[in-house]
Structure 1
């Protein structure tokens, strides 16, 4: 079947996930697909066309259904082919180092996932995250102090000099990465999300070896950090955490906690600066900030889609029967713009009411694989936006919004740079 443009998905039954129009405006493109057909197929080079679900109800259903797993090897009768493993090999990553990415919590489902989540949750508690806020605020103020010195001809790249360094410093302090070693983690994080795969093998080898060294140091001299907490969890009760799983967990938390939060700050800043009415509301009433961060996550969140889910048995989604072993990709941006759940979804509304039972958006996914770092990401967003708007009341974009350059990566919404005038 020939793949077509997004607006033809309903008539052909498939669309091209790499279509440039969709990458440049996923909000409009996926909303059109959602209203034409709630479940369709997408073409992705090198793999069988997966199913794509776009309506809020269906996205939450797939993410919350244990019959869908993230690791295709868990499908009964599976040949054991793992797409992630194939990609890593194609990018020159050795089997020795690939296992630390393949053993991460995102690759596990069911009891194994619950075991790992329970262990890391002991060291990554809401209380521990709340205790980080004063230090988060100090880091934020320090970065903002330096911003004017980073300007060239009155223009500074807010992404490079604020949005990127802030979350890597915060997560490194939480995990226990010494200050002098943090640049190598930023390099590794960038390499892991680079769609070209450039530098991935070397960067991964470097941080894996470094993590091994840190674990040995903390075993000898425990500290008040997540690495020490994981070591303690490893030694308690029967829920053993292997060294491979521990290294994989540290890598996942550091990398996932860096890129997505950086682009939340970048995307959210653009949204506020291009909606002066909403910006004025937030300046006048800082108490709106927690809800504002939720709305920014819904309206311009950095994660547009989740990892593939694989059906472990035949499952019906609406009028479509998804066969055992078939892949399904939930589209978060389509769900977050679903008018069945959000009134006037295209409108940025920082006063948008939540339903009182928690967040309605799915920016952090849903179900078993709900983002473990969501409380920290929300806190970082609140602190970053609050301090940025207070410190620089005349902040403006240095270029027209349509001239901002975005990295055209399927499933992600992120800027290449964010030039502003302070």
Structure 2
């Protein structure tokens, strides 16, 4: 049950504030006094995230590519870069990608029966995971023969091995720089071309370091979260057959179904921590300057003050309140329209192709990763049944 902001002790022994009510989370995420980079606090100081990256083994020359993403920047740098990336990731470009998304989905569905072992197929490994990286590669303009390498790099970016992580970041950096150089000579209709051509109000543009950083953010954030949302959504619908039947009866409910799945099963449970740049009152509680604040969006999305029967999956739910799965405020997810599109196309096509799709294990045996900031399945074994 969401409560007023409370202090909590973190895994490393430090203290932080936890905010869980929908109104309070919305306020924290939209408050300019709540910054994401400790270097933005009064008096300056080190970037805690950058220091942590180097401490865990990320090479100092590569760490800025991870610490300099939009999620770790505050205005004015954040404002400038977000505007430039927003120009490239336009509504028109995302909409134009839909046929390509459907083609990728169909290719993966064609191959699913080939991956069956003892009558079961792992949706995570053979559908949910490869789909987003294929979409991102198509969006970026990566030639298809290079997609398998990019999928390997994306997986490596989630590794706890510094050597593996550094190698992947280095490989992506070189690939992006080469792709950007090619697109400057011969522009095409892809995101890398759009990023190289974007200009701010003063004529400024993204340099190669910015390009690498933005692409890394898309690969790391866009791949994992979208993949988990697809698999979480499949599992949710298979364990709520009455909702799946409702969706099959009325496919036009799909956009609302995706919103409801995001509310209840959105993979990102807690976004980047915020830091109070001055004393801030949230939900009647004063949070002192310098304090670390965690906005628990997964809890806020089940706030009964905003969502009647908050723990119930209802794909036809109508509510004046919006889910917070993509966060809100200046750091709201830039790729949310693309993620919505990918999930909608993927779920619609999967259940159309395999109308008898069912879990291959009891729901209680589904393997979920123990992760306080991410809701994700390790595997999702399903029985396909006969194609429709």
TM-score tier (shorter): over 0.9
Note the 1:181-330 alignment, pairs <5 A. Answer: 181-194=146-159, 199-234=164-199, 237-330=202-295
Name the SS of the counterpart of 1:85 in structure 2.
helix
Q: Aligned runs of 1:91-102 on 2, under 5 Å?
A: 91-102=56-67
- 1:172–1:254 contact (8 Å) kept in structure 2: no
Partners of 2:30 and 2:155 in 1: CA distance: 30
Q: Does 1:152 align with 2:117?
A: yes
Judging changes above 3 Å, is the alpha-carbon distance between structure 1 residues 196 and 326 closer, same or farther for their aligned structure 2 residues? farther
Report how many aligned residue pairs link the two structures. 384
| Deviation for aligned residue 1:51 | 0.6
Is structure 2 residue 356 aligned with structure 1 residue 415? no
Which residue of the partner structure matches residue 361 of structure 1? 323
**Pair 178,366 (structure 1): closer, same or farther in 2 beyond 3 Å:** same
Structure 2 residues without counterparts, runs of 5 or longer: none
Normalised TM-score (structure 1): 0.88
2:26 corresponding residue in structure 1: 60
Spell out, residue by residue over 1:361-408, the C-alpha distance to the aligned partner (whole angstroms, 9 max, x if none): 100000001100000010111101100010001101111111111111
Q: TM-score, normalised by structure 2?
A: 0.95
Could you give the per-residue CA deviations for residues 280-312 of structure 1, whole angstroms, max 9, x where no partner exists? 000000000000000000011111111100111
Q: Secondary structure, in 3 states, of the residue corresponding to 1:116?
A: helix
Q: Is the 8 A contact 2:58 2:162 kept in 1?
A: no
Mapped to 2, the partners of 1:251 and 1:297 lie a distance apart of 23
**Among 132, 143, 154, the residue aligned to 1:167:** 132
Q: CA deviation at 1:84?
A: 1.9
* Shift of residue 319, structure 1, vs aligned partner: 3.4
The residue aligned with 2:308 is 343
State the superposition RMSD in angstroms: 1.6
Q: Check conservation: 1:78, 1:325, Cα contact below 8 A.
A: no
Partner of 2:15: 49
Moved more, 359-368 or 277-286: 359-368
Report the alpha carbon displacement of residue 236 of structure 1 after superposing the two structures with TM: 8.0
**Deviation readout 1:220-254 (Å, 9 max, x if unpaired):** 22221111111111598423323211210111112
* Aligned with residue 374 of structure 1, among 315, 320, 336: 336
More displaced 10-residue stretch of structure 1: 329-338 or 177-186: 177-186
Distance 2:116 2:336 in 1: 32
* Pair 234,212 (structure 1): closer, same or farther in 2 beyond 3 Å: farther
1:73 and 2:39 correspond? yes
Distance in 2 of aligned mates of 1:185 and 1:148: 24
- Alpha-carbon offset, residue 134 of structure 1: 1.0
Provide the residue aligned with 1:104 in structure 2. 69
Query: Deviation of residue 197 (structure 1)?
Result: 5.6
For the Cα contact (< 8 Å) 1:53–1:328, is it kept in 2? yes
**1:39 partnered with 2:1:** no
SS in 2 for 1:50: strand
For residue 86 of structure 2, give the secondary structure of its aligned residue in structure 1: helix
- Three-state SS of the structure 1 residue aligned to 2:6 is strand
Measure the CA separation in 2 of the matches of 1:216 and 1:96: 21
Counterpart for residue 332 of structure 1: 297
**SS where residue 293 of structure 2 aligns?**
strand
Secondary structure (helix, strand or coil) at the match of 1:328 reads strand
The answer to whether the Cα contact below 8 Å between 2:120 and 2:383 also exists between their aligned partners in 1 is: yes
SS at match of 2:340: helix
CA contact (8 A) 1:91 1:201 kept: no
Unaligned runs of 5+ in 1: 1-30
Structure 2 distance, partners of 1:294, 1:285, is 16
**Distance in 2 between the 1:160 and 1:234 partners?**
39
Work out whether residues 332 and 362 of structure 1, in 8 Å CA contact, stay in contact via their aligned partners in 2. yes
SS in 1 for 2:62: helix
Q: C-alpha separation between the residues in 2 aligned to 1:83 and 1:295?
A: 35
